[in-house]
Amino acid sequence: SNEVVVLDCWAAWCGPCRMLTPIIEQLAKERSDVVFGKLNVDHNRQIPMKYGIMSIPTLLYFKNGQL
């Protein structure tokens, strides 16, 4: 399997994150072969720390479970 996942790391207070949202939503419609997800960094603090995320928005791209 060549599963591809794109994880959008965002927060409600982040203006650039809100600007990126419609683009990600359009990509999700166009690319049924890619799984798109959203991660609110304010509600899930361990994952940004795990991947060294220092600013948002950040997109994490995984293929076959590998970053």
> Is 17 one of the catalytic residues?
yes
Whole-number Cα distances in Å, 41 to 20, 29, 33, 47, 59: 15, 24, 25, 8, 12
Set 5, 14, 24, 28: catalytic member: 14
Which residue in 17, 39, 41, 56 is the catalytic one? 17
Active site residue 9: no
Q: Strand ranges (DSSP E) for the chain?
A: 4-10, 34-40, 58-63
Structure-token pair, residue 26: 């359009």
Catalytic amino acids? Answer: 14, 17
